[in-house]
Amino acid sequence: MKKYFKPVIITESESLCIRKFLPEDADAVFLYRSLEEVARYQYWQPYTKEQASDFVNQCKDSDMATEGGWNGFAIVYKESGQLIGDCAVKITGHAAEIGCNISPVYQKQGFAREAMRLVIDMCFNLRGVKVVCGITDSENAASVGLMQAIGMSKTTDFVNRIMCKGVWCIEHEYSIKKAE
């Protein structure tokens, strides 16, 4: 007998919900996280099915109350019920770092922008966070554009030079402050 898990919705908009991962999400995660184009600017390589399952298992108990580590959540398109990506939040004190991955099938439709706005609001409203940031490779034009589109500004004093996947990269931080 297959066990049924009721999804725990963290927050939602008209078209998206951000919820905890369910065990059956692993196949959908594998479909986009196994792609080179999704992994290109990430610290991880394209996923295997086992890694997708491990990722979902690690994230299934994510909680916004947890501080200091990454908490991952599923992004679901409400009209179809399809998992279309994932987002992550790392809270430290009154600051949060966020990020997301969207399946290429659902890119360029405003879903990343909508999901990140939900996550920012969630951080500001539920956790008392005063600043939310995102860090991206300076060559990742889609990520830079996303952060600018959601109202983030480039943090001028943050430049991180790192070796990622055998290539030197320059990362920049973008941030937004809570309106007082």
pLDDT in tens, 85-96: 999 999 998 999
Task: Tell me the pLDDT band of 33, cut-offs 50, 70 and 90.
Answer: very high
- Provide the pLDDT for residue 164: 66
pLDDT in tens, 34-60: 999 998 888 889 999 999 999 999 998
Share of the chain above pLDDT 90, in %: 67
- Provide the pLDDT for residue 179: 85
Side-by-side strand order, sheet with 9-12:
9-12, 16-19, 70-77, 82-92, 95-102, 131-137, 167-177, 153-164
- Tell me the average pLDDT of the chain: 89
User: pTM here?
Assistant: 0.90
CA proximity to 70, closest of 59, 60, 81, 80: 59
pLDDT in tens, 133-155: 999 988 899 999 999 999 999 98
pLDDT in tens, 93-124: 899 999 999 999 999 999 999 999 999 999 99
What's the CA gap between 169 and 137, in Å, rounded?
6
CA proximity to 30, closest of 90, 86, 72, 106: 86
Q: Which residue has the higher pLDDT, 44 or 66?
A: 44
CB atoms within 10 A of CB 133: 19
- Provide the pLDDT for residue 151: 95
Task: Tell me the pLDDT band of 25, cut-offs 50, 70 and 90.
Answer: very high
1 has a pLDDT exceeding 50: no
Handedness of CA 31, 36, 41, 138 (dihedral sign): negative
Taking residues 5-23, report their average pLDDT: 88
In order of start, what are the domains of the chain with their CATH numbers?
A: 9-177 (3.40.630.30)
Q: Which residue has the higher pLDDT, 7 or 130?
A: 130
Provide the token pair at 158.
């943050």
